Every structure is written in structure tokens, then in C-alpha cells.
């Protein structure tokens, strides 16, 4: 469980994060979405007590992060996979974390294997790791203390498609066992496959948040009518507008149900009716975040 209440961070006159509130429930994966410089990382650092907020607060499992007795046993954090000592081996990196948390270092080889790093990789220094291997090491590091909560900043960066698929399975299973996951990304499609909830942020402010399915539904409905002219007439009666695609489908800004009902009542034949889904959400994402002037992006 993660609770974020009115978090704000100002750097001089600039508001990097502006009045951000959301909660992440146990058993769910929350996708934290926004373009580069939207304030995702700053928000996550404030949750983890690394950056003091200008105002507002955040708790993990009901406790401010800095008051957690042994945080590693409650929260797994991966904010930057490159932030490991280049001169330490992968195995040593995990061993130090295990020691700090009071865990047996004997679990380290097995944990490395779980994320796809074998004994040879574990003996190599992090300097020699690819970004993908560092992400895997970071995930093993975050999950080492068997936490109930995971906070991951762009964990799919540098992973190959197979690795991304694997990570989704890992996070899905973690949440299905009752874990809480907060996962950030600047790529909607990356998060869409695994998230239950979405929080969209742009220019430091929350743009929209809610259940993924609801947000996906809000993207509109794709309709393939048998007779386009009859369907246009129907839309006019419903006071809706549709945009026609080259493939003969029409995107309507509405829920599927009212369109289907009206079509059935008036005898207009529809060959296909479905939520616009991720395409519609992506459009919304770009529309919502498009207002951010790219020159203002600072990180």
C-alpha cells in the first residue's frame, strides 16, 4: 500500500511536482505514466525519502518511508539501475544488501538466477554489465528482502523484448499474490500490458488517474458500420461525432453500449463494435501531455 498526499516539490520557481495525490492498493500494479521531465522520478524519490518534499506527504504501508525500521523488508526500490558501484560484483552488491537487511547471504546466488543472471554473471563487476543486466540486478536487489511493495522507475529500460515479457510476468505474479507495485514509464504500451491502474502525470501535475479499463474505455469506441451513410445519420441523432479511418471503421467519442443500443433500435447494422483501447488511450495520453512545452523539460 502506497499513499501519496498532495506531494509538491519546488526547485526555485519551478514546480517539479505539483500537488500530486494517489494511492496504490495491495494486489494491483499501478502504472505511473508521463513524458520525460513530468515529475515521475521526483515523486518516487519523495516517496522513498530521498528527496524532501516542499509540502505534502507519502507513506508506505501506512508509515513514512524514513520511519520504516528495516525498509528493505517492506519495500523493494529500483530507482536507477545504473546507480550501483561499478567496481563491485553483482553477487557482492546483493550480498551487501542482504547483510544490511539481516538476511542470510546464501540466498544471493538463487536470487540472481531468478532474474536470469547465472554464476558467471554474478562474479563479474557491474562495470561490465549491460543496461539490461543492471535492470535485472536491480530487480533482484529490490525483491531481495521479500517486500510487500515494489517501487520501480522505468525498469523496462534496456531490457530486450523477451526481458520485458518476463518482467511483466514477474510483476503480475507479485501483485496477484497480494503485492503492491508502482511502476513508472514514459511508454504507455509498456505499462498497459501489466497495469491495473494508471496515473498520468505531466508538467508535475496529475492529468488523469483511474482503473485502466475505465480509462481505456474513455478512449472512445471503434465501430464498423455496414452502411456508413446510415451510421452517420445515427450519430447525428445521438449528437455524437465520429472520425472515419481508411479501413472503414469510425472512432466515436462514446461508450460502446449507447451506440450499439441506438443502432439496434434503429436497425442500423454494425459489423464491429469495440473499445478503442490502447490506441484511444495513447491518443488521450498525447493530448493530455502535449500541452507541456518540450523546452521546459528539465528531467
- Total residue count of the chain as it appears in this document: 299
Which three three-digit cell numbers place residue 157?
A: 529500460
| Distance between CA atoms of residues 263 and 81, nearest Å | 52
- State phi, psi for 107 to the nearest 5 degrees: -80, -10
For other proteins, give the closer residue by CB, 139 or 216: 139
For other proteins, give the closer residue by CB, 170 or 201: 170
Extended strands (E) in 166-261: 180-185, 197-202, 205-211, 221-225, 242-244, 250-252
117 binds other proteins (CB under 8 A): yes
| C-alpha pair distances (Å), 176 with each of 28, 163, 210, 250 | 7, 20, 19, 37
Contacts (CB under 8 A) with other proteins, residues 41-60: 45, 48-52
| Distance between CA atoms of residues 9 and 20, nearest Å | 10
Site size for other proteins (CB under 8 A): 68
For other proteins, give the closer residue by CB, 46 or 281: 46
Q: What minimum distance in Å lies between the beta carbon of 179 and other proteins? A: 4
72 binds other proteins (CB under 8 A): yes
Q: Which stretch binds other proteins (CB under 8 A): 14-22, 98-106, 211-219, 286-294?
A: 98-106
Binding site for other proteins (CB under 8 A): 1, 26, 45, 48-52, 61-63, 65-75, 77, 79-80, 82-88, 92, 96-97, 99-102, 113-118, 121, 125, 130, 132-133, 136, 141, 143, 146-149, 162-163, 166, 169-170, 173-174, 177-180
Amino acid at each position: 500500500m502506497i499513499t501519496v498526499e498532495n506531494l509538491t516539490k519546488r526547485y526555485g520557481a519551478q514546480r517539479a511536482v505539483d500537488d500530486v495525490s494517489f494511492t496504490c492498493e495491495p494486489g494491483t500494479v499501478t502504472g505511473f505514466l508521463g513524458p520525460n521531465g513530468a515529475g515521475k522520478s521526483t515523486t518516487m524519490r519523495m516517496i522513498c525519502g530521498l528527496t524532501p518534499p516542499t509540502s505534502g506527504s507519502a507513506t508506505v504501508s501506512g508509515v513514512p518511508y524514513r520511519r520504516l525500521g528495516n525498509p528493505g523488508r517492506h519495500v523493494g526500490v529500483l530507482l536507477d539501475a545504473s546507480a550501483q558501484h561499478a567496481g563491485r560484483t553483482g553477487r557482492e552488491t546483493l550480498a551487501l544488501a542482504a547483510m544490511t537487511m539481516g538476511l542470510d547471504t546464501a540466498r544471493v546466488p538463487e536470487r540472481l538466477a531468478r532474474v536470469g543472471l547465472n554464476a558467471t554473471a554474478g562474479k563479474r563487476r557491474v562495470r561490465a554489465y549491460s543496461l539490461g543486466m543492471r535492470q535485472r540486478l536491480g530487480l533482484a536487489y529490490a525483491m531481495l528482502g521479500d517486500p510487500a511493495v515494489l517501487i520501480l522507475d522505468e525498469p523496462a529500460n534496456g531490457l530486450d523484448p523477451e526481458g520485458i515479457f518476463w518482467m511483466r510476468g514477474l510483476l503480475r505474479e507479485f501483485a496477484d499474490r497480494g503485492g503492491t507495485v508502482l511502476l513508472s514509464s514514459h511508454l504507455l504500451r509498456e505499462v498497459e500490458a501489466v497495469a491495473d491502474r494508471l496515473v498520468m502525470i505531466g508538467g508535475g501535475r496529475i492529468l488523469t488517474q483511474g482503473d485502466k479499463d475505465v480509462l481505456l474505455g474513455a478512449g472512445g469506441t471503434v465501430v464498423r458500420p455496414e452502411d456508413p451513410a446510415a451510421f452517420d445519420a445515427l450519430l447525428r441523432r445521438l449528437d455524437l461525432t465520429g472520425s472515419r479511418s481508411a479501413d472503414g471503421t469510425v472512432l466515436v467519442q462514446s461508450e460502446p453500449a449507447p451506440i450499439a443500443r441506438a443502432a439496434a433500435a434503429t436497425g442500423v447494422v454494425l459489423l464491429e463494435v469495440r473499445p478503442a483501447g490502447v490506441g484511444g488511450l495513447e491518443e488521450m495520453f498525447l493530448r493530455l501531455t502535449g500541452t507541456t512545452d518540450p523546452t521546459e523539460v528539465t528531467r
